[in-house]
Every structure is written in C-alpha cells, then in structure tokens.
Amino acid sequence: MRAAVVGGGSWGSAFALHLGRKDIETRLWIREKDICEATARLRENTTFLPGAIFPPSVTFHNLLSETVEDTEIVFIAVPSQFCRSVFTRLQSHLNSDQIIVSMTKGIEEGSLMRMSEVMTKLFAPRINPKIAALSGPSFAKEVALEHPTAVVVASEDRETAKIIQVAISGPYFRAYTSDDILGVELAGSLKNVIAIAAGISDGLLFGDNSRAALITRGLAEITRLGLKLGAKQETFAGLAGVGDLVLTCTGQLSRNHYVGYEIGRGKKLHAIISHMKMIAEGIKTALTGRQLALRENVEMPIFEQAYLVLYKEKDPRTALQDLMARKLKTE
C-alpha cells in the first residue's frame, strides 16, 4: 500500500510516522519548503515533532502532485482555515479510486461546512473519491511515542471505513468504524470550544468540580446540536465524542486548553496565539459553532460565553458567573 499524508504539522507528522512504522510506503507533504528540506535531511521534523525519527518508508515532499500520485489512501491533516485551498489544489491530482480521509477537526468559516462536505463539493464535478473522517483522542506526541491510542474512522460507505481501519490499526493504535461521519466530524470540532472553556476555568484556579461540570454540560450542548443536524446519539458517547472531549479538556498537550488557561490567567488572545507554532482550532470553532447553533436554533450557553470571551473580550470570570446564574432547569 502507498499512502499520502497532507500536512506536516504535529498530527500529520505523527500519523505519517505511525504509517511508516507499519511499513506502509508513506509520502508526507510539508507546506514550508525549508521545514520539508530539513526534515528530509535529518529524518526528523524538529519544528513540529522533535525527537521522533522517521523510518525509511516515509518520504518528504513539497509538491502536492507528487505526494498523492499513485497512492491508495490520502490522509489530510491541515487546519480547517486552509482546507479549501488545499482541496482545490489537490483535486486535479486525485482519482475516483482513492480514499480521502479528513483528519481536520474544524468547521469552515462562512459556509459552516464540515471538511467532508467541502471535499464533496469541490471534488464531485471531476471525480468521486471515497471520503472518510478520522477522529478521536489522539495527541500527536503520544502517538509518536507509541502510547496505546484508539480512534474512530467514519464513512457513509462501511467498506471504505473498514479498509482504513485495517490499514492503520496496529499493536498500539486501534481504529473503530462508524457510518456517522456527520456526528464524528461535529464532535471532533466542537469539543475544542469546551476545552477552551475548561482551560479558562483552570486558569482562574477553579477546581475539578468546575471542570467536570463544563465537560458534562459541554457534551450535552454538542450532542444537542449534533442530533438536530441528524447525527447519531451513540457517536457522542464514543471516542470522537466524550473520549476526545475529556482528553482535550484535561490533557497537558491540549492547545485549546492552553489557550483557555492563558486567558484565565489574564492574557489577551492575540498575545497568546502570537507565541504558538500550531493552530488551536477551537478559536475559530467558537465562532462557527455558535453560528451553527444560531442557525439551527439550538441553545448552547457555554459556546455563547466562549464566543463572548474570545471575540468580545468579555471578562472570563463574569462569563462563568453568568453561566451559573442562568434560569434553573431539569437535566
């Protein structure tokens, strides 16, 4: 099997490393030419995944055409804000026999589309590839360290999901399948906003009670919106739902929790992101998730307060107080 991984950040690099360790011929596309050349020379992505040495089965590319040509599966791990431009550049190099897997946890600004929807819209006029999404609790660094990890692969075509499942599963990496691609993508995207809220709570030096409440009520909000859009209830109780939510709200490697934590400590958002090498998707999703909720007339108070803190500079302590002061109701 030949696979391509489009995206040379921490997650794309860790996943290419994982595939390479399985002796899958893997091509990793790295957008930045200098980082691509350095990674090829050192066999290590010192910028985004330092300490992990790639096996010979992984090669490094700066051209999308040579990265995806003659590959069976193309995994795409770029931030959501860049996906449309990357998909547009990719479409002339893909064919209908390939499986395209989104590993991006975000919602497109403006269209409010999930990444698989953007793919379908862009690719359909010329080709009709098999499309899937991969999500779940999977910090890149821990995958690179071969810590046991479980994810979910979702596709409307069950056979496509099974092909990916078999290809990527191994001694420390286990994939489950789902046909609820809508729910898997939504859960993976929306949980990042709750992670920012949990980080704010931790930054304000609130304790475990507060974090547990945010995780639980955050899951309720995510599930509410997901069900309104047609997702399956059980998806939100699985790896892409509660699994990824707990990890991102509590893990020390969580970029979104880090952003919230620094805000809770009093730092301004622009100052926080100016020192980050990687993108925290929850910042944009606080905007797009709120817009989805408003469009669907779904009540999501944590999302509303996260949006106000991030985009209107509302005081975080006031935002949490306003959440607690809402009208009492049944669970």
Token digits for 89?
A: 């550049």
What does the pLDDT look like over 173-210, one tens digit per residue?
A: 999 999 999 999 999 999 999 999 999 999 999 999 99
pLDDT at position 160: 97
2-179 and 189-324, same CATH topology: no
* Arithmetic mean of pLDDT, 24-44: 97
Q: Is the pLDDT of residue 296 over 90?
A: yes
- For the chain, what are the domain ranges? 2-179, 189-324
H helical segments located in the chain: 10-21, 33-42, 64-68, 80-90, 115-123, 140-144, 158-168, 181-203, 208-229, 244-250, 255-264, 269-273, 282-296, 301-312, 316-324
pLDDT at position 277: 87
Q: What is the distance between the alpha carbons of residues 197 and 50, in angstroms, rounded to a whole number? A: 29
pLDDT at position 266: 96
Q: Is the pLDDT of residue 75 over 90?
A: yes
pLDDT at position 227: 98
Mean pLDDT rounded to a whole number for the chain: 97
pLDDT at position 208: 96
Q: What is the distance between the alpha carbons of residues 293 and 306, in angstroms, rounded to a whole number? A: 13
pLDDT at position 236: 98
**CATH class of the domain whose range is 189-324:** mainly alpha
Q: Is the pLDDT of residue 58 over 90?
A: yes
Q: What is the distance between the alpha carbons of residues 12 and 79, in angstroms, rounded to a whole number? A: 11
What does the pLDDT look like over 224-282, one tens digit per residue?
A: 999 999 999 999 999 999 999 999 999 999 999 999 999 999 999 999 999 998 899 99
> To which CATH superfamily is domain 2-179 assigned?
NAD(P)-binding Rossmann-like Domain (3.40.50.720)
Token digits for 73?
A: 């599966």
pLDDT at position 163: 98
Task: Tell me whether strands 25-29 and 2-6 are parallel, antiparallel or unpaired.
Answer: parallel
* Arithmetic mean of pLDDT, 50-58: 98
pLDDT at position 218: 98
What does the pLDDT look like over 106-145, one tens digit per residue?
A: 999 999 999 999 999 999 878 888 999 999 999 999 999 9
* Arithmetic mean of pLDDT, 52-73: 97
Q: List the catalytic residues.
A: 191
pLDDT at position 249: 98
